[in-house]
A and B are shown apart, each in its own frame.
Chain A
């Protein structure tokens, strides 16, 4: 196989890989931004005292967590047009990533807020801080610190999940491998090159995760 491994072909397709790398980053970045928003809202509703709000949020979170992303993706991809909603593949792809990841984000945020010791809130109450002041000065800074590593973990998952968008023929890194396979019959070159690009994104995000965990040392004691 080594003698058949064709560097020249890879170089020839490098511009394609470059634009596909950007596409992967853009698709998962959009999914990340969207899921942060959806996650905050879903978490707020989920922890609400009113069942009218908390039940639908819980149903959304549990049904997302209990079904595969690919099924969710096909549900939107085949389902929206059958309802007469015309949407582009890109929109469907980002929507699927956002809704899927949003459910996990909601749980991460909930865990972060719950992990703050009750004494922290009591201390803030005792100094006479109002609800909003407590949230802003005491709860949120700690929650963000605690949730940063799992959120970065979720970002890693998002990048990998975006590979599934190739199955609805969106251009991104995995699709580039498929193109090389079908045009030149070179699956090894095609998919291994995709894999290398994914590993580059992964190691960048992993370095960031390690760094964020180190910064958290202050929060673990005290």
Chain B
């Protein structure tokens, strides 16, 4: 019996690959936007600008404290009340970018704080300006600490992107949901969905572990 279903499933493989492409597009775009914004917020947060710090801190707490599903519903259903009509795709990218930015912001500010205070003092003493201190002294050292959790965060981002299927973005999870209505074999259909996610996420997790081992060891010296 499974043979028939397996054949049907293989026939809809192109559909799954389209879904996979959508997953990659949503998480890829959010990854780039989230990293850029997250770095900016993280740097501001570890600076001495008190208002910016408090605002970013509060926003990060709100985003960390609520489910992503609720965030995406808020964005998708409430913005129209302001007269802003977003399609599912840009809404998904916006919500996911914001989520990523909040988590990356924490990683960045923790990374910056991990650099010993003497480093900044040395940079100040040699006459570097604020930007130069950051660019040439602080960030290169902070990056060592930040890289493994950053890659780990990208894995979370890809996994979280599955939630955008709830507002109708046709990503891999949504393709699975649509397919299972036709081919009522949940194990088979979502086994395939899982396999596709695994193919992207597993190598990234290994990369994060390897980075942690390499950078962690050299950072301790």
Q: Which residues of A contact B (CB under 8 A)?
A: 1, 4, 62-63, 65-72, 74-83, 156, 160-164, 166-167, 174, 177-178, 181, 187-188, 191-192, 194-195, 198-199, 202-203, 206
Cβ-defined contact, A195 with B186, below 8 A: no
Residue ID in chain A nearest B75 by CB atoms: A191
For the complex, is B51 an interface residue (Cβ under 8 Å from A)?
A: no
Main secondary structure of the interface of A (DSSP, over half): helix
Stretch of B64-72, B88-96, B141-149 lying at the A interface:
B64-72
Identify the closest chain A residue to B204 (Cβ): A66
Complex-state Cα separation, A194 to B69, whole angstroms: 11
User: Is B26 engaged at the interface, CB distance under 8 Å to the other chain?
Assistant: no
Cβ of A113 to closest chain B Cβ, rounded Å: 18
Indicate if the CB atoms of B205 and A65 lie closer than 8 Å. Answer: yes
State which size class the interface on B falls in: 35 or more
Q: A199: which of B66, B186, B198 is its contact (CB, 8 Å)?
A: B66
Q: Compute how far the CA of A63 lies from the CA of B69 in the bound complex, rounded to whole angstroms.
A: 23
Q: How far is the CA of A156 from the CA of B67 in the complex (A)?
A: 10
Q: Is the CB of B194 within 8 A of A78?
A: no
Which residues of B are in contact with A by a Cβ distance under 8 Å?
A: 61-62, 64-71, 73-74, 77-78, 81-82, 155, 158-163, 165-166, 172-173, 176-177, 180, 184-187, 189-191, 193-194, 197-198, 201-202, 205
Instruction: Flag if B65 contacts A163 (CB, 8 Å).
Output: no
CB pair B67 A174 closer than 8 Å = yes
**Interface of chain B: mostly helix, strand, loop or mixed:** helix
What are 18 inter-chain pairs, A to B, with CB distance below 8 A? A1-B81, A66-B155, A71-B162, A71-B197, A74-B173, A74-B186, A75-B186, A79-B185, A160-B66, A164-B67, A164-B163, A174-B67, A174-B73, A181-B77, A188-B78, A192-B78, A195-B62, A198-B66
Residue of A77, A167, A192, A195 with most partner-chain B CB within 10 A: A195
Contact (Cβ within 8 A) B81 A70: no
* Complex interface: chain B residues within 8 A of A68 (CB): 158-163, 173, 197
User: A67 contacts B194, CB within 8 Å?
Assistant: yes
Are A69 and B66 CB-contacts (below 8 A) given A74-B180, A79-B187? no
Known contacts: A67-B194, A67-B201, A74-B180. The answer to whether A177 contacts B73 by CB under 8 A is yes
**Is there an interface contact between A161 and B197, defined as CB atoms closer than 8 Å?**
no
Contact of A187 among B77, B165, B184, B185 (CB under 8 A): B77
CA distance A67 to B190 in the complex (A): 11
